[in-house]
Each structure stands twice: as structure tokens, then as C-alpha cells.
Structure 1
């Protein structure tokens, strides 16, 4: 679930653009990182490091984007290594694998759509808080 609303101060246009870029980083990195899920996390982390002294709005959204990419890397890495073990013959195709891949694809598609939506909204200065990740961002950014 995604909630939108106002941040605790009026966000100017440059802040909205930088906050939006924190989500776009992961989308741009998909081109290079599709086979290796860690690339998206690294791109988002580098952007986060570059903006950790920025305004609260930008830091908050960089943090939320980083948390979402972290969980995505974990889920995608499990799927990647499970697939690799099947290719080398250590495991065979099972209902568990098929179920996990359906969940993995659903999660990736949902995160992709949410990222695009959030990038558009934050560019407008609208505060978008994702379920689960938003609470972690609130705990990390206390300005």
C-alpha cells in the first residue's frame, strides 16, 4: 500500500527532482543490472551516499528507495542462485521453485510500478510513503 500526502514543509522543485532521481536510479540500473541484482542496489546506495547531507525530503526518499532495493536484492538473489543450482543440476524443477518465481516476478513488477509512480509523484513534491519501507525511513530520518 502506498500513501501520498504532504511533507512537513513545502518541498521546492529541485528537492522534488532529486527525490525523484533516487527512484529513477534503480530503473536506470535495470539496463545494466538485470542479470545481477546487486547493480541496482549499488546504484541506489551511491545516490543515497551523495544525498545523505541533503534536505530531509530528499534524504527520506533516498532512504526509502534504498530499503526497497535492499529487499529486492535479497528476493532476486535467492531466485538467481536457486535457478543457477537447477542449471548445474543440483536441484530439479519443483512446485516450490515455480511458486517462488511467480512471487518473485509479482514482487518485481509491483516494485517497478510503485517506483515509477513514486518517482512521478515526488517530482511534483508530493510525499509518497510505501507500506513497510516508509516506516523504516521514518525511523532513520528524524528531521
Structure 2
């Protein structure tokens, strides 16, 4: 890993781009696409994995086909933002499977959640029973997504 802002050269960046789009590509095909032989390509992949740049490989599931078509974004404001309260919220939100993403935000609210459920009734239950019950939640505001224009994994 040399050159570039993160120390990646053009081959490293090419490997990462191809793997991000097609994680199941064979090493032989990857090598062909980036213009290196198989052995140096595999060595670079191993180095990127060991450095933690490639964190893993996984299947990308279609949430709509899995019955999880409803997406809502939830602003969460906490009643307490001291470090212990933030840690308690962070730990607890990890246990809510419907929360697909959770980001601490520098704004008039404290967290932004992406919540995926089957439908609005299911979302209402998750909001009432799980999200509102998280430690130190003072208030929430919900924004329902009508259409995903772009989602990158």
C-alpha cells in the first residue's frame, strides 16, 4: 500500500473498487481486471485484509424480498448527553435488530437511526416498544422514506 491519500496505489484502489461491487469474484478474474497476475493480486488482497481495510465479505440481501420494505429515519434526542448516557444508549441500540444504522449527529438532535420494518404498523410497534424504551430517549421524530433513490452497501 503506497501512494494516494490513504497510502493506496492504483492497484489497491482497483482491487477495493472491484471487491466492493463484486465480492465473490475469483482472484483470477480480479487479477485480469486490474492488470496484475494472480499471485501479486492475492498478496495485495491478503495485505488489505490484514490491515483491516477489507473488513470482510458478505452477501447483500434484498430487504424488500425479505419482507422489510418499510424504511424510516428517526431523529432521537436524549435527555442526558453525558458520556455514560451516550455509552448506555450506544450499547442498547445495538440490540434492536430493526435499527439498520445508528449515527451520532452534531445537530439539534443526538442520533439518526435508519429503521427497517415490514410496514408502518410494525414500525409503530418498534418505535413504541424498542426505540422509545432505549436509555435516556427524550423524544423522537420520524421521517418515512417513500423511495430509495441510491443505496450503497
TM-score if structure 1 supplies the norm length? Answer: 0.28
Q: TM-score, normalising length from structure 2?
A: 0.26
Higher relative contact order (CA 8 A, sep 6+): 1
Q: State the structure with more CA Rg.
A: 2
Instruction: Decide which structure has greater strand share.
Output: 2
